[in-house]
Structure 1
């Protein structure tokens, strides 16, 4: 049986903060300060997410999902894809040396 590793994406997935910065806030015509107030978080917290230096936590995903009307799933999936890509990049060759065992 020939088991192959899934092909790794070469392009980093978009951090959810970029979606906020590039699409959501401009569409709502809101500055970060007002968006943070409406979300019930500090301005610094929202700035860090927008800068891509802080992750969207499950709690923040719930807040964003309610605020945007699209639920928390989108925000968590985006963060998960971003985090997994970075973990795979960091492990690099180490992953290639780990054998895969299919159970089933």
Structure 2
């Protein structure tokens, strides 16, 4: 089932990881071995989750790396669907 407007992974990290544990951005960044700026940029939706961060999130907060990546892919795909016009493209058929 496709989500109409999937949340940015940063929203999920904040609402399901930081807030329930009472973690500040600084403490969470330390736990992830990342800078506060890097985590803040992710939490505010100005950057996506890199494969390296996926591994860190998986280790520190749980969920599989693939699960974290799926969140990012859904968000990226939705943005692309809203901005890329493919209406004039046609499928190439085999000869």
Q: TM-score range by the shorter chain?
A: 0.7 to 0.9
Q: In the TM superposition, what is the alpha-carbon distance from 1:16 to its structure 2 partner?
A: 0.6
Instruction: Report the counterpart of residue 32 of structure 2 in structure 1.
Output: 39
Q: Which runs of 5+ in 2 are unaligned?
A: none
User: Residues 28-51 of structure 1, C-alpha deviation per residue, up to 9 Å, x if partnerless?
Assistant: 111110000010000000001100
1:18 is the counterpart of 2:11: yes
Q: How many residues align?
A: 93
Matches within 5 A, 1:15-94: 15-91=8-84, 94=85
Shift >4 Å, 4+ stretches: none
TM-score by length of 2: 0.88
Instruction: Report the counterpart of residue 99 of structure 1 in structure 2.
Output: 90
- Structure 1 or 2, whichever has the larger Rg, is 1
Q: Which runs of 5+ in 1 are unaligned?
A: 1-8
TM-score by length of 1: 0.81
